Every structure is written in structure tokens, then in C-alpha cells.
Amino acid sequence: MTLLVVGVSHRTAPVALLDRLALVDGGSEQLAGDLLVSPHVAETLVLSTCNRVEVYAEVSRFHGAVVDVTETLSKTTGVPRDELTPHLYVRYDDRAVQHLFEVASGLDSMVLGEQQILGQVRSALRSAQEGATAGRSLNDLAQAALRVGKRVHHDTGIDHAGASVVSVALGLAAAALGGTLEGRRTLVVGAGAMSSLAATLLSRAGATEIVVANRTFTNGERLATAVGGRAVELGQVPALLHDVDLVVSCTGSTGLVLTTDEVRAARESTSETLVVVDLALPHDTEESIAGLPGVTRLDLAAVASVPEAAAPEGDVALARSIVAEEVRAHVSARAAQRVEPIVVSLRAHAEQVVEAELQRLRMRLPDLDDDAADEVARSLRRAVSTLLHTPTVRMKELATDPDGTRYATALHRLFDLDPEAIEALSAANDAGADPTVAQLLHGGEQGSIGSATDNGTRGTA
């Protein structure tokens, strides 16, 4: 089995395309479930955020799995495959592990070092667990990624400035409003994680008024109470535009929250500046709002234009070294896990040999008393265990070597181990240049990726 990730993010696609790829209303769960129909895919986990959609999978056939993931993603989102593939990237094995660890650490985020991604990875794992699409491999990988992300944020200063998509967006909004949010009248649309963070940051910045509008009134009321604001029904949003300086919207809905006509009508009798911050994918507001007099519209594309150098270079370097260390540890553990069935089978084979010799001894020496027989048995097992200790330990160490599979195969053949037993144990145990997706889809069948020799470094799309 091979670990594979096929994805698209703000680094490879324009925000307009990410907008169309947004998985809402159970789209992530549907995608993960549909992928299990593929004969090449054993486990799936889908990470969908405001600036990325990534499919992590345990697969048996590399090329076939890439084709199936791409086609299923296209079908689920409605984006034609030919339009989608130029923006997709593929990574596998070591590089796939490294990628998720970097994502969870905020090293691949639109705003370097942001922490919201940790919660999004946790939600993706929970969804995969509840949908029974993630098995042991992806559970272990995601849990490790969460631990690595926490370690990076704890051991480095990569997020000391509290940088996030929300905080950067609010910083841009403050600049458009004269340099400060203090004393501003604000409207937050939505009550999810990003909206909650926005409301909290607005409160800390000294906003005079914070109004929260949400489709579920009780959730909006809960958030409003937490920040000393007030809650309103979602339908009241257009009527409130005349009396606010800033609107922050992030609902995750499929329809528009604000149209250009609604904003125009609400602002007819005022010349005061209005800033609309749209952090949703798909967008909550019409892009043409930005063309109205006195109105500034900021979206994820604007946030993406902010330099990522906000995090100190030393902290970024330390974060990357931590990720590299953790990748090595995880890959070694994963490799050792793969050879474990052969090691177990070898020990079981040795135990059978010992037991057969003990049976012969009992037949040849029927008068041997029980204490003596037990001592002989202990001596035999101790000798066999001592002889096998170094080879089995070394086998796990060599599993991370490029030739590790050949060593395992040699051990298998030298001791004539039962292949069916190893297969059963494996099943129980499982209970830089990457190719572009376009190249893979238009190339020939690659077969199992186990034949590759470059440890998962096949370039970016």
C-alpha cells in the first residue's frame, strides 16, 4: 500500500477556482465515501478549507488511484477534469507525510504560521472516522500531523504575532478605514470558527458595536453574548448596512449573503466608507460590490497578496527542521509496520521448529521429568530468541532503506515463510519532483508505485 495525496491549493490555483471547488453541505464526506468505490483506494481522508482541497488516501495502484481521485473530485465539485488537472499536485509516501505535517504546522498556509488549520485537520480526521473512510494508516498519519502542528506552534515563534487569515484580513480592513478598528461599528455574518475569531479580534481592537447575524439565531446569539454584542436574524443584514463601517462574512453557504444591489440601496444616503471582508468559499458577496463608491471589498485573494514574511526566518527554519525530524520518525515507524508481519511470521516459524524438536525429545526420552523438560524448552526458546533478535531488529531498521523491501523478501525466501500467513498478518496490521496530474492522466499505466526508486519525490503540478 502507498500513501498518496492529490490536492489543489492557493499555491497552485486562483481563488476563483478554489471558490468553485469548495466542498459544502457534506461534500467532503460524499467525496471520501465515493472514493472507496475505487478498487485502488483502501482509505480516504479529505481536508477542505478556505484555500485548499486535498485527498489523502492509502492506495494499491498509484496511477489508477490518481485517475480515480481526479475524476471523483471533478464529479463532486462540477469542475471539468481538463480544467482541474493543471492545478492539481501529487505527492506520495515520504513527501505526502511531509506535506501534511507542513500543512498542519501552518508552513503551507496563505498566512504563514496560522493556527486555524490545526482545527481543520482535526475536523477532517473526525469526519473520516465517523464516515469509516480512514483506517489505521490515515488515523495514525492525521494524529501525528496534529501532534507535529502543536509541537511547531509550541516550540517556535512562528505564530507569536497571532497571524491568521482573519487577523490579516482585519488588518487590511483597518488600513482601509483609516488605520484602526477602534470605535468602528461592525457586522459579523456567520458564527463558525472564522466568524468567531473575527468577532473576538474586533472586540479586542475596540470596535464600538459588534452585531452577529447567523442562519441559526441561537448560535449567533451565543457568539454575540461572548463578545458583548447583539444578535440579529440573517435576513436583517441588508437593512443594517447603512449603519456599519465593516462587514465580515464567512458563512460557508452555497448562496450569496450580500448582492451588489443590496449594498447600493443601503448606501445611497451615506458617503461614509464601508469595508466588506469576504472570507468564505464559495464567496458570500458579489465581487462587483468593490465597484461601488466608498465601498472596499476584501476577499481571500487580497489576503493572499500579503507577504508571508511576517514570521521570523529563524522560526520558520526551526519549524521546518522539526517537521523534517518528525517525518523521518513517522516514515521509519510506517516502514517498520510494513515488515512487522514478516517478523511475526519468522518468530512463529521459529516457535514451530522449537515445538517440533521438543516433541521429538519427549518421544526419545519418555522418562525425562517435567522440570528437566521445561528447562530444556526454556533453553531452546532462549537460544532461538537470541539468534533472531539482531536480524529482526535490523530488519525493522533496514525497512526505511531504499532496498528495505528486498531485505524483507530475502528473509521471506531464506526461511520459506508462509505467504498466506504473512498476507493475513498484513491485513490485520492495516485493520523534490512529483509528476503533474496531467502527466499521469495522459501517460501510461504506472502500476504499483512500489517500483519507484525516488522515495516519493516526483515534483509539483
More confident residue, 336 or 223: 223
Q: What is the pLDDT of residue 339?
A: 66
More confident residue, 260 or 342: 260
Residue 282 pLDDT > 90: no
Instruction: Please pick, among 3, 47, 50, 141, the residue that the annotation labels catalytic.
Output: 50
Least confident of 125-139, 198-212, 322-336: 322-336
Q: What is the pLDDT of residue 338?
A: 66
Average pLDDT over residues 229-244: 92
Q: What is the pLDDT of residue 459?
A: 36
Average pLDDT over residues 420-443: 55
Q: What is the pLDDT of residue 394?
A: 72
Average pLDDT over residues 391-409: 66
Residue 315 pLDDT > 90: no
Q: What is the pLDDT of residue 399?
A: 65
Q: What is the pLDDT of residues 131-159, one digit of tens each?
A: 999 998 999 999 999 999 999 999 998 87
Q: What is the pLDDT of residue 174?
A: 95
> Which range in 212-221, 392-401, 414-423 is most confidently predicted, on average pLDDT?
212-221
Q: What is the pLDDT of residue 253?
A: 72
pLDDT confidence of 396, banded at 50, 70, 90? Answer: low
Residue 407 pLDDT > 80: no
Residue 308 pLDDT > 60: no
Q: What is the pLDDT of residue 23?
A: 87
Average pLDDT over residues 357-363: 88
Residue 269 pLDDT > 60: yes
Residue 61 pLDDT > 70: yes
Q: What is the pLDDT of residue 162?
A: 53
Whether 50 is a known active-site residue: answer yes
Percent over 90 (pLDDT), the chain:
48
Q: What is the pLDDT of residue 436?
A: 66
Residue 252 pLDDT > 90: no
Residue 242 pLDDT > 50: yes
Average of per-residue pLDDT values in the chain: 84
Average pLDDT over residues 216-222: 93
More confident residue, 404 or 227: 227
More confident residue, 115 or 233: 233
Q: Report the predicted TM-score, pTM, of the whole model to 2 decimal places.
A: 0.68
Residue 314 pLDDT > 70: yes
Q: What is the pLDDT of residue 155?
A: 92
Domain ranges within the chain, ordered by starting residue: 2-161+433-451, 165-304, 331-430
User: According to the 3-state scheme, what is the secondary structure of the chain?
Assistant: CEEEEEEEECCCCCHHHHHHHCCCCCHHHHHHHHHCCCCCEEEEEEEEECCEEEEEEEECCHHHHHHHHHHHHHHHHCCCHHHHHHHCEEEECHHHHHHHHHHHCCCCCCCCCCCHHHHHHHHHHHHHHHCCCCCHHHHHHHHHHHHHHHHHHHHCCCCCCCCCHHHHHHHHHHHHCCCCCCCCEEEEECCCHHHHHHHHHHHHCCCCEEEEEECCHHHHHHHHHHCCCEEEEHHHHHHHHHHCCEEEECCCCCCCCECHHHHHHHCCCCCCCEEEEECCCCCCECHHHHHCCCEEEECHHHHHCCCCCCCCHHHHHHHHHHHHHHHHHHHHHHHHHHHHHHHHHHHHHHHHHHHHHHHHHHHHCCCCCHHHHHHHHHHHHHHHHHHHHHHHHHHHHHCCCCCHHHHHHHHHHHCCCCHHHHHHHHHHHHCCCCCCHHHHHHCCCCCCHHHCCCCCCCCCC
CATH top class, domain 2-161+433-451 = alpha beta
Residue 310 pLDDT > 80: no
> Which range in 268-277, 336-345, 429-438 is most confidently predicted, on average pLDDT?
268-277
Average pLDDT over residues 316-329: 93
Q: What is the pLDDT of residue 398?
A: 66
CATH architecture of 165-304: 3-Layer(aba) Sandwich (3.40)
Q: What is the pLDDT of residues 9-21, one digit of tens each?
A: 999 998 889 888 9
Q: What is the pLDDT of residue 151?
A: 95
Q: What is the pLDDT of residue 182?
A: 95
Q: What is the pLDDT of residue 96?
A: 94
